Amino acid sequence: PIVYNGKNAFVYSKYLTTTSNNTNTDTGTLTYIGTYRTTGYDICYSCCGKVDGITASGTRATPGRTVAMKGYPYGTRIYIEGIGYRTVEDTGGFKRNAIDILCNNHSECYAITGYRKVYLVK
């Protein structure tokens, strides 16, 4: 069972894989770093206070790639359970143990809010 768009759903088992600490994947080794509060934002004034889409690292924020996260240098690759692989490109205006994930719109932002296991990709 999963939660998708705020509703309970199920995933067909043939589409599932198992991951654990220090598991080799096609994109690197995953090392569990903790459970983080996940929130979403999009490139709008109410979410960012600006609309240019430029992150603190100088990159253009891109849905499906960009996250804001404190404690890790820009360019760090992470895997967020239920979300996928992302790159730290901003620090965000929040405390540690939180990740702000760039989304396409506010509906996506609300759907990903919660707590998720996070892995460092090496």
Q: What is the 3-state secondary structure (H, E, C) of the chain?
A: CEEECCEEECCCHHHCCCCCCCEEECCEEEEEEEEEEEEEECCCHHHHCCCCCECCCCCECCCCCEEEECCCCCCCEEEECCCEEEEEEECCCCCCCEEEEECCCHHHHHHHCEEEEEEEEC
- Looking at residue 36, its pLDDT comes to 94
Using alpha carbons only, what angle is made at residue 116 by residues 114 and 30, rounded to the nearest 5 degrees?
Answer: 160
Task: Tell me the H-state helices in 19-61.
Answer: 45-48
Q: What is the pLDDT of residues 37-49, one digit of tens each?
A: 998 888 776 666 6
- Looking at residue 16, its pLDDT comes to 60
Tell which wins on pLDDT, 45 or 22.
45
Q: What are the tokens at 118?
A: 């996070």
Confidence of residue 20 (pLDDT cuts 50, 70, 90): very low
Confidence of residue 22 (pLDDT cuts 50, 70, 90): very low
Judged against a pLDDT cut of 70, whether residue 25 lies above it is answered with no
Give the β-pairing of 66-69 and 84-90.
Answer: parallel
